[in-house]
Amino acid sequence: MLLMIESSFWQRCAAFLVLAAAVVVVQAEDPYRFFNWNVTYGDIYPLGVRQQGILINGQFPGPELYSVTNDNLIINVYNNLDEPFLLSWNGVQQRRNSYEDGVYGTTCPIPPGKNFTYILQVKDQIGSFFYFPSLAFHKAAGGFGGIKILSRPRIPVPFPDPAGDFTVLIGDWYKTDHRQLKARLDGGHKLPFPDGILINGHGPNGAIFTVEQGKTYRFRISNVGLQNTLNFRIQGHSMKLVEVEGTHTVQTIYESLDVHVGQSYSVLVTMDQTAKDFYIVASTRFTDKILTTTASLHYSNSNKAVSGPIPGGPTDQIDWSLNQARSIRTNLTASGPRPNPQGSYHYGLINITRTIKLVSSAAQVNGKQRYAVNSVSFVPADTPLKLADYFKIDGVFRVGSISDSPAGKKMYLDTSVMGADFRAFVEIVFENHESIVQSWHINGYAFWVVGMDGGLWTPDSRKQYNLRDAVSRSTTQVYPRSWTAIYIALDNVGMWNVRTEFWARQYLGQQFYLRVYSPVESVRDEYPIPKNALLCGRAAGKSTRPL
């Protein structure tokens, strides 16, 4: 009996020690946040007419994704649509983990009636971003929402805590159903001009932001639209820019901000006016027809509704926008996601190992409208490129199917993939020969926007580069008949989408994939394929890893 009691005692002790060790391990890990999202169709009326929108948990726009630097986000997405669905995370870098990027080049779509659990980590990131549906033309139906990544408590932030923190999602919008828009593009036609602009899913004066007089609030503004640059302003109030896509900026005061499609900005606004309601305005830039919409800034002690003329903004002035863009610079002394100052990485002193020049174009191919980069108009393969790469499936894509510079060829179709070496430091020049504003995004990365100007880029253009405090971001504009140059440190192994944010152009081929490769094939450089990865195309039937 004594032996049995002693044995039971020591078993309980051992179990306690195992449990204690497990608790220590869990406490040592970065925190986990869990989300269950149900994706459905539902009726929405953003511009006064009934439309079939894409809802997440019954919401349009979708729920906000709140996190803190290094958090692990477990997002279980149930696809209750009647077609495949994917979500992507604009600006979230997916360090060492392009499998979770949520674009068709990396991730199999979630079949109708099925679910998939994204496992993300917002590693070494802070700032304002958004998520969106990446397949078909779903982005024209909703399914998007804001992402906030807050600094860890011990990391200093270069401004006092605001009294409130608002997500403001602005974007152009069509009354036409997304399927009809897609069918028009599939038929080789351009889309008409959008019907209106939304602020947080509402048309004119539908959204209300309630504030208290005398307090300062943070507004995180993202252009989640389909093609147009929008100018954002708040009647009677100045905006202090503090953050751009994860970079704390020099705190410059602006009366209005040009937010190009796909971009995100954070501003601080102090409620220093008499108690009444004010217009919040978003209007199109560089368009023949100016679309304008409003929301209300409501002082809590106001008894006077918003009224009077809507404050005007800039319309077609390129130089105004260019000068504003050049004025947005990194705050070198502020901390980013880590305690060391953002200026401690001297990007301007690093030798460039490669220059890539990307020129966008529009043309007809086989009688249909297409768009291209360096003459190649992207067509999706039958298998996500990242999975084909992992399983070494031949014939899906060819590295080098898009050149480092314009080839001077007639536009053609291909599954364009550009190879790049892990840890290379690269200069990329985006050149725009057209009369529209372009907006370019690179998944998996932030880059330094070192220069932009009119005309054609030449090596002499480097003389005007900002090699000290250029802003670091993931989406940059290229003005009409102009160029924009960026520096990028290729420190994130994976298959990464490089695309225009002009969504019809993206859908019709103005994108490619950058394969950043390390021959070591170590978990130090890239995580293994997720155990729960969906497998489709020629990867169907293969196995990932043991569960």
Tokens of 312: 């005007």
Confidence (pLDDT) at 12? 41
CATH, range 28-153: 2.60.40.420
pLDDT at 16: 36
Q: Is the peptide bond between 61 and the residue preceding it cis, with omega within 30 degrees of 0?
A: yes
Q: Is 520 exposed, middle or buried (CB count within 10 Å of its CB: 0-12, 13-18, 19+)?
A: exposed
Partners of residue 360 on adjacent β-strands = 373
Q: What pLDDT does 28 receive?
A: 53
- Residue 9's pLDDT is 35
pLDDT at position 545: 74
Strands (E) in 328-459, as ranges, are 354-365, 368-373, 376-378, 398-399, 412-414, 416-421, 425-432, 438-442, 447-454
pTM over 0.75: yes
β-bridge mates for residue 218, sequence order: 165, 268
Per-residue confidence of the chain (547 residues) as pLDDT tens digits?
A: 333 333 343 344 343 333 333 333 334 589 999 999 999 999 999 999 999 999 999 999 999 999 999 999 999 999 999 999 999 999 999 999 999 999 999 999 999 999 999 999 999 999 999 999 999 999 999 999 999 999 999 999 999 999 999 999 999 999 999 999 999 999 999 999 999 999 999 999 999 999 999 999 999 999 999 999 999 999 999 999 999 999 999 999 999 999 999 999 999 999 999 999 999 999 999 999 999 999 999 999 999 899 899 999 999 999 999 999 999 999 999 999 999 999 999 999 999 999 999 999 999 999 999 999 999 999 999 999 999 999 999 999 999 999 999 988 999 999 999 999 999 999 999 999 999 999 999 999 999 999 999 999 999 999 999 999 999 999 999 999 999 999 999 999 999 999 999 999 999 999 999 999 999 989 999 999 999 999 999 999 999 976 5
Which two three-digit tokens encode residue 317? 């002035």
Which residue, 163, 187, 204, 158, is CA-closest to 46? 204
**pLDDT for the residue numbered 546:** 66
Contacts of 7 (CB under 8 A, 6+ apart): none
d(CA 148, CA 157): 15
Q: What is the separation, in whole angstroms, between the first and last Cα of the chain? A: 42
d(CA 203, CA 297): 15
Q: Which residue has the tokens 């898009």?
A: 402
Closest by Cα among 168, 166, 282 to 234: 282
Cα–Cα distances (Å) from 547 to 366, 467, 529, 543, 544, in that order, read 47, 47, 12, 10, 9
pLDDT at residue 407, as a whole number: 84
- Strand ranges, E, within 455-510: 472-473, 475-478, 482-489, 494-500
**Are the beta carbons of 217 and 271 closer than 8 angstroms?**
yes
CA–CA separation, 27 and 19 (whole Å): 12
- As to burial, measured by CB atoms within 10 angstroms (0-12 exposed, 13-18 middle, 19+ buried), residue 62 is buried
The separation between CA 450 and the C-alpha centre of its own chain, rounded to angstroms, equals 20
Per domain, the residue ranges of the chain are 28-153, 157-328, 347-537
User: What CATH class is the domain 157-328?
Assistant: mainly beta
**Do residues 194 and 291 lie in contact, with contact meaning Cβ atoms separated by under 8 Å?**
yes
The CA distance from 159 to 260, in Å, is 25
Does 2.60.40.420 match the CATH number of domain 347-537?
yes
